[in-house]
Structure 1
């Protein structure tokens, strides 16, 4: 677990004796998270949760220990994608995440509700506080990567995550639609205000391949992800197609059975970005 100073806005000028820095919780003392990566879009409906899930699966296949913090409190989809039926449990010193079939540790509010269809009718401050507790009160154990699936927009939750959690880097998800790119630019500018590091941009839903002739059909317009990344001065991680098989496996809760060389390449690029950063100070 990194030092709490790493998320403080005055860390660069602090003498190290700041009384406002909170002590580590019991759960944090039992956790050691090497890299925190937030997946962000600003725009809903671009497949951000699918990208988060497959990035986790690809990193796990590369031999890393991975967790997912589902910060989309009012619209969580991660448990469904992984087919999780067990509930998150409370231990003496914190909350225990639920493990997926392949061992990915996951925490989501939907793992705490009696019925997955129950709505969460909460105001922003309550939602933000829960997301913070997913960081401070969950016993994550040893993780090479903790991926945070952020909700759409630039409101309470993204702000809380960037302010209170030591995020190492952001992965931005967009689609070829000009509307999507316009909204994503808002998210990029917001993250820049918090001096976030960008690991890169993924263009999802870039095309679909005809199952009969393998012709590439760009149903949302000509992909512009590489151009968008360059305009915002962030790395371009690649583009992903619409794949009915991924949709079917996600609906069935079997996303870990999906194989994609494209996702593996993106995961390798994210891993390379994380290795370029200086190691975080350990608590």
Structure 2
């Protein structure tokens, strides 16, 4: 049975796409077929993490939404990035990525005209069926809008990313409240960019009590992440790093505690 996992944040700059790409990679490396769709159409970028160059992209999510292609024609197999450690790569696992357009004119058109959110709903269902996906990750647009609400409604799991600052705390409360009203089956909060010197136990307790929601993990700020500069998947480049191990912990909670995941 396929599952849809939306990764959301109330504000931009939380590291949402980075967390999404690493979670999807860890799950794919366990042998699962994983899809990622970049619905952050106004500021796309997750394709960069997988090394998907613009000259390789013939169709994007925008093209599907405007009737130029079928949804699967905008999906690109980025599984080779997983094969950096062949012994850990499952026989049937892989990642297909649907990027959004980075062309200024097409981003402007989305801002001006919007799109039919129901068409996106149909496309996601078709994509799961045609690519035989075990998991589909939706990298959402920050904030609360019609497209985000649709993604949340469709989701089996919602992962909300926040930074440990006052503005994120307040905005995340809104996102959590909306998710509860929409009756999302499973919801987790992930704290990203926490200072290594912080008391993680106290931080987890404070966030869990604030939202009455499970904190799946706390990811620290680290120099290696800044050095990488979104040029690669962190858990592949630094598999033994505490950040990578914490993402693995989060991934296990998403797919079920009995799953064996490797980084």
Q: Is 1:174 the counterpart of 2:165 in the alignment? A: no
Pick one of 190, 199, 205 that aligns with 2:178. Answer: 190
Pick one of 154, 175, 189 that aligns with 1:201. Answer: 189
2:107 maps to what in 1? 120
1:246 maps to what in 2? 225
Report the secondary structure of 1:251's partner residue: coil
Aligned-pair CA distance for 1:119: 5.8
Point out where structure 2 has 5 or more consecutive residues left out of the alignment. Answer: 83-93
Q: Is 1:99 the counterpart of 2:86 in the alignment? A: no
Aligned-pair CA distance for 1:222: 10
Instruction: Please report the TM-score for the alignment, with normalisation by the length of structure 2.
Output: 0.75
2:148 maps to what in 1? 158
CA distances 1:244-266 after superposition (whole Å, capped 9, x unpaired): 32344353245443421111111
Q: Is 1:235 the counterpart of 2:214 in the alignment? A: yes
Structure having the larger proportion of residues in helix: 2
Q: How many residues align?
A: 228
Matches of 1:42 and 1:274, distance apart in 2: 30
Aligned-pair CA distance for 1:182: 0.5
Aligned-pair CA distance for 1:46: 1.0
Matches of 1:250 and 1:128, distance apart in 2: 32
Matches of 1:222 and 1:263, distance apart in 2: 17
8 Å CA contact 1:55, 1:267 repeated in 2: yes
Instruction: Please report the TM-score for the alignment, with normalisation by the length of structure 1.
Output: 0.70
Matches of 1:271 and 1:246, distance apart in 2: 25
Judged with a 3 Å threshold, the aligned counterparts in structure 2 of structure 1 residues 258 and 104 are, in CA distance, closer, same or farther, namely: farther
8 Å CA contact 1:240, 1:262 repeated in 2: yes
1:15 maps to what in 2? none
Point out where structure 1 has 5 or more consecutive residues left out of the alignment. Answer: 1-32, 209-215, 276-283
8 Å CA contact 1:175, 1:225 repeated in 2: no
Instruction: From the CA coordinates, give the structure whose radius of gyration is larger.
Output: 1
Q: Is 1:263 the counterpart of 2:244 in the alignment? A: no
1:87 maps to what in 2? 57
Judged with a 3 Å threshold, the aligned counterparts in structure 2 of structure 1 residues 72 and 93 are, in CA distance, closer, same or farther, namely: closer
Aligned-pair CA distance for 1:94: 4.5
Judged with a 3 Å threshold, the aligned counterparts in structure 2 of structure 1 residues 94 and 56 are, in CA distance, closer, same or farther, namely: closer
Report the secondary structure of 2:167's partner residue: helix
Matches of 1:268 and 1:252, distance apart in 2: 25
Judged with a 3 Å threshold, the aligned counterparts in structure 2 of structure 1 residues 93 and 73 are, in CA distance, closer, same or farther, namely: closer
Matches of 1:130 and 1:204, distance apart in 2: 32
Q: Considering only aligned residues, what root-mean-square deviation do their CA atoms show, in Å?
A: 3.1
Q: Is 1:67 the counterpart of 2:35 in the alignment? A: yes
Judged with a 3 Å threshold, the aligned counterparts in structure 2 of structure 1 residues 244 and 77 are, in CA distance, closer, same or farther, namely: farther
